[in-house]
Amino acid sequence: MLEGIMMRNGGKYSVAVRKSDGEIAVDVQDYHSVIPWNTPLKIPFIRGIFSFIDSLVLGMKTLMYSASFFEEEEEEILTEKEAAKQEKQEKLFMTLTVILAVVIAIALFMVLPYFLSSFVEKYTRSHTAMTIFEGVIRVAIFLVYIFLISRTKDIRRTFMYHGAEHKCINCIEHGLELNVENVRKSSKQHKRCGTSFLFFVMIVSIIFCFFITSESQIARVLIRIALFPLISGVSYEIIRLAGNSDNALVNLLSRPGLWVQNMTTKEPDDSMIEVAICAVEKVFDWRTWQKENL
């Protein structure tokens, strides 16, 4: 079971983990993008592609760190050479896992809905109807997937930590002192959440698919796959806008993503909130931020 939270702020990130003995272990590291130069990370629509990959890589790193506290301790002490070899193997495993995650995501949410929607082709030749139906299937697969994984015990606890993370951010952004009592009464929903980002990916993909008019089925599948990075980039810009705006229209567009967060965030207990607070305070001077921004 993974009992921790990752918080990133600028060039640093922290991982706070509740160990089996009740102690909170915290690891603070410099954040390095998978892209060695910063220019692509500043270009609208392009930066979202790399931010998505960065999130996957960083997520794997923090998962491996938190999981290490619950693995059985090895009796033997590794030599320097063996430790270097193990680190190399872990990096390879992490890379392959991220690649596999992207492939599965594309197959499950881009390719599969297209093939399932083709079953209604004998009832209508309308490109608009087919595209909308494909989009409905895509959103349905996403929601069913989230619902099913949320039923497992370990994922439910992960979603409780997810809720603690959001509550901390909302507590700070509403000008409250960051403590357990204030965090507990803060909202577990946040417009910049990764869940909302994924939901926007589902919606934006419907719009993009309207422009895929090739007669070749293979070409239509390949174009959908090729468009995935661009769809991610556009969705990233939307989520950035939503997180920095209180415009009525933007808030309206954000609501479906917030509703989905009811499945991916659960109410945390106080011990989880303590972990979240610890992770935040290691990388973020929230008192100074509140003075400068509120």
The tokens describing 34, both together, are 């998978």
- Please report, for residues 41, 58, 82, 103, 256, the alpha-carbon distance to residue 37 in angstroms, rounded to integers and kept in the order given: 8, 17, 32, 25, 35
Per-residue pLDDT reduced to its tens digit, 37-79: 666 667 888 888 888 888 888 888 887 787 777 654 444 455 6
CB 161 within 8 Å of CB 4: yes
Q: Could you tell me the two tokens for 99?
A: 């690649």
pLDDT given for residue 234 in this prediction? 93
> Mean of the per-residue pLDDT values for the chain?
86
Give the pLDDT of residue 40. Answer: 65
Instruction: Give the global pTM.
Output: 0.85
The per-residue pLDDT for range 173-229, each reduced to its tens digit, is 999 999 999 999 999 999 889 889 988 998 999 999 999 888 888 999 999 999 988
Q: Is the pLDDT of residue 167 over 60?
A: yes
DSSP E strands: which ranges in the chain?
4-9, 12-18, 24-30
Beta pairing class for 12-18 and 4-9 = antiparallel
| Closest CA relative to residue 138, chosen from 109, 99, 102 | 109
**% of the chain at pLDDT higher than 90:** 47
Residue with tokens 């100074």: 288
CA-closest candidate to residue 107, choices 99, 55, 49? 99
Mean pLDDT of 106-123: 87
In the prediction, which pLDDT does 125 show? 80
- pLDDT of 118 over the 60 cut: yes
Q: In b/e form, how buried is each residue of 117-155, taking b as 16+ CB within 10 angstroms?
A: beeeeeeeeeeeebbebbbebbbebbeeebeeebeeeeb
Q: How far apart are CA 290 and CA 52, in angstroms?
A: 28
- State whether residue 1 is helix, strand or coil: coil
Tokens of 24: 């909170």
Question: For residue 115, how many C-alpha atoms fall within 13 Å in the half-sphere facing its CB?
Answer: 10
Contacts 24+ apart (CB under 8 A), 92-96: 94/57, 94/60, 94/61, 94/64
Q: What's the 3-state SS for 141-208? A: HHHHHHHHHCCCHHHHHHHHHHHHHHHHHHHHHCCCCCCHHHHHCCCCCCCCCHHHHHHHHHHHHHHH
